[in-house]
Structure 1
Amino acid sequence: MIEEMGYKRTDKLLIINADDFGIAKCINEAIIELFNRNDITSTSVMMPGSRSKEIKDFFKRTSCKNVGIHLTLTDKFKPVSRAKDVNTLIMDNGIFPSSSEYIESNGDINHVKKELRNQIELALSLGIDPTHLDSHQGSVFGLFLGRDFMEVVFELCMEYGLPFLLPKQVVNQVSFDERMISSFKRYIRRAKELGIALIDDVICLPYELQNGEDYKTVKNTMINKLTQIQPGITQVTIHPSFVTKELKEITLHWQKREMEYNLFLDDDIKRILLSENIKLISWKEIREYQRSINNYSKSF
């Protein structure tokens, strides 16, 4: 794929994606700052987030248009759809469950399709020209009970001409059992059949702050991961934020988010990108490649 995109087969291409735009002002502000400093190449917005409509401010304050949709069915957010239209996806208090196990057990597939499409449509209404789709907490993959919603996701990918974050190297994930590895192999085959472009790998840090972890250890871990990037397309996923009272109220691991904000501002990290000859790209290039091979011409 990368040769058809104009790169060499041996090139190491990296997307630096900041997750979770839209859930807090401090997170939005950090992502805007990183874009303005050219230290990230992509973000993904959670449309059920209470601050997702600040995406309009994002466009005013940056020149970047590389925004994907972080499809959300979990983590105690309210759906963007009317509650009565997606009632199998929400708890009695009207919010998504904390875990996708509930969605796998109770979710009506038509409700899943309605909510995910409405998240994309809301993004479009706010002026977002989405570059890709991905899944918050992997809620569409059937990680708990084996009931996935990947056909819904692939249908949306085809409808809107968008790639999906499903790295091909996921089949080598040592923490997955045989069932999950078999499922991911099936998803990858299906994406290939449909002409949905997939990247090769994803790297990220544990979301939680680990025992004894500080910025130095976090940076060294990231440097080690960057030096192991192979030719092809890799995404590094970060969760940056400024530290505020708001952030401390929504996560116990607020220190980790501050560390991840600082990582790609760090000169040591920048030197690794240069010494490893890593080329930065965005999801927009992958989207345009996918649309070209599928002769996709729909506009929004």
Structure 2
Amino acid sequence: MFALNSHIKKLSLIAIVIAFSVQEVVAQSTYAERLGWPKGSRVLILHVDDAGMSFDSNQGTIEALEKGVANSFSVMMPCPWVSPMVKYIKENPTVDAGIHITLTSEWETYRWGPLAGQKRVPGLTDKDGCFWEDVGQVRKHASSKEVGREIRAQLKRASQMGFYPTHLDTHMGTVFSKPGYLLKYIHIGKKERIPIMFPGGHNSMLLEQVKTRDLSELDKAKFIYANDQASAKLMKMMKLAQTLGKKVWNAGLPVLDDLHGMSQDWKFPDDMEITDSTLQEWFSGKYQESLSRLKPGLTMVIMHCTKTTDLFKEFSGSGNRRKGDMLAMMDPKFRKFLEDQGFILTTWREVMERRAKVGKQRFKNVNMDLLATVFLN
């Protein structure tokens, strides 16, 4: 759930609000428990974003899955390298493959546009007919109706190719950047019976990430609390994520307890010699240190595993970070760490199967007035 400013990812407003709901829900049973795992279990989805974006992205995704411990990924349907990735999915039908809903095109010299067509979603496109480069421009120009149309166009493209996603998530956190977009995302997931990435639990790790961010954007947030400062808005909005999580659960979809996307912000030492060996050791160590602090619950760990080549450097300077993600997943020491720590690995496919077995179990107390206040104001 991240918004990008240029190529630097920043947590979106809705993500910030969700993260600060931790104080409200930490004492409740986790969604992992509701899905049938024993109390106290730490359950992980080790998820690779950005499959289909490039040849290097595809190769890194596949190696992290086949040679490493990554067990889930999602595909950017508007991107040029989707066809080979879908071919891989069809040849390996048990893989956990979702759609990485893509509403932005962030690289300066490597770009893509909407599958719905520019005429149907003009607010999603810039002067070149491509998606906007950053989330802020999407929020400024695109309507919720256009976002809904493009999500459905990406689902349709996948279906036409014979690819039926196990889940939906979001590139650069765009669907979490505006209430109307989020409602479309939830509604489509509910109607199509496809799990959506939504962290509605204690969000302890997400909160840890948010604490390093600039919260000044909250001062500009209107909602109903327009006259409050950021800290006051946070206090008044803490229950929003908990309420939304309950609504998603009541719709028959699973909900995450937490979200870990920390690797995008890790800065390796300036004097570190960049080799495959040093990248693997450093990133693996950072994953072990951060995951050891995870609280019980169902957590999605987001990474961008990429087998970077010189071609990748032509449009992105993030190659070493992405390669570090891939190498960490392939590190035998990281695999042993997961085993020693007692983590349970799962997939979106299994999570939805468990949610279906739970049946019509519902939260009785969902504050619909709160949702109406925030989303309809």
TM-score range, shorter chain: 0.7 to 0.9
What are the within-5 Å matches in structure 2 for residues 111-126 of structure 1? 111-126=146-161
Cα 1:193–1:33 change in 2 (3 A) is same
Partner of 2:118: 83
1:188/1:161 Cα in 2 relative to 1: closer, same or farther (>3 Å)? Answer: farther
1:162 and 1:290 in contact (8 A); partners too: no
1:227 counterpart residue number = 292
Work out the CA distance in 2 between the residues paired with 1:113 and 1:264. 34
Kept after mapping to 2: 8 A contact 1:55/1:126? no
- The answer as to 2:113 corresponding to 1:59 is no
How far off is 1:234 after superposition?
1.0
Greater C-alpha radius of gyration: 2
Which segment is superposed worse, 241-250 or 58-67? 58-67
Contact 1:34 1:40 in 2 (8 A): yes
Partner of 2:335: 270
Pairs aligned (count): 292
Question: Normalised by the size of structure 1, how large is the TM-score?
Answer: 0.88
Q: How much does 1:63 deviate?
A: 5.1
- 1:93 aligned partner, one-letter code: D
State how far apart, in whole Å, the 2-side matches of 1:246 and 1:80 are: 25
The TM-score with structure 2 as length reference comes to 0.71
State how 1:27-66 maps to structure 2 within 5 Å.
27-37=57-67, 39-62=69-92, 64-66=94-96
Amino acid at match of 1:58: Y
Q: Confirm or deny: 8 A CA contact 1:39 1:265 kept in the other structure.
A: yes
**CA deviation string 1:237-276 (max 9, x = no partner):** 1111112133112310111111111101112111210111
Cα deviation, residue 205, structure 1:
3.1
User: Aligned partner of 2:192: which letter?
Assistant: Y
- 1:203 and 2:260 equivalent? yes
Q: CA 1:221 to 1:148, structure 2 compared with 1: closer, same or farther past 3 Å?
A: farther
Map of 1:162 onto structure 2: 194
Alpha-carbon spacing, 1:171–1:224, altered in 2? closer, same or farther (3 Å):
closer
Which one of the candidate residues 112, 120, 140 is aligned to 1:105?
140
Secondary structure of the equivalent of 1:153?
helix
Deviates more, 1:76-85 or 1:30-39: 30-39
Instruction: State whether residues 11 and 279 of structure 1, in contact with CA within 8 Å, keep that contact through their aligned partners in structure 2.
Output: yes
**Bigger mean CA deviation after superposition, 183-192 or 32-41:** 183-192
Structure 2 SS opposite 1:139: helix
- Contact kept? 1:47, 1:70, Cα under 8 Å: yes
Tell me if the contact between 2:307 and 2:326 (Cα under 8 Å) persists in the aligned partners. yes
Structure 2 letter corresponding to 1:43: F
C-alpha distance in 2 between matches for 1:137 and 1:68: 15
Q: CA deviation at 1:9?
A: 1.3
* 2:197 counterpart letter in structure 1: L
Using the alignment, how far apart are the partners of 1:183 and 1:246 within structure 2? Answer: 44
Structure 2, unpaired ranges of 5+: 1-30, 107-111, 219-229, 273-278, 361-377
Q: Which runs of 5+ in 1 are unaligned?
A: 296-300
Structure 1 residue 16 displacement after superposition:
0.5
The one of 233, 246, 254 aligned to 1:192:
246
Within the alignment, does 1:141 sit opposite 2:176 as a pair?
yes
State how far apart, in whole Å, the 2-side matches of 1:113 and 1:92 are.
21
Secondary structure at the counterpart of residue 175 of structure 2: coil
Decide whether aligned partners of structure 1 residues 284 and 60 sit closer, same or farther in structure 2, where only a CA change above 3 A counts. closer
**CA–CA distance in 2 between the matches of 1:110 and 1:183?**
25
Shift of 1:147: 5.3
State how far apart, in whole Å, the 2-side matches of 1:135 and 1:181 are: 26
Q: What is the aligned partner in structure 2 of residue 298 from structure 1?
A: none
For residue 282 of structure 1, report the CA deviation from its aligned partner.
Answer: 0.4
Q: Which of 80, 86, 92 is matched with 2:127 structurally?
A: 92
Aligned to 2:20: none
What does 1:253-292 correspond to in 2, within 5 Å? 253-292=318-357
Q: Secondary structure at the match of 2:176?
A: coil
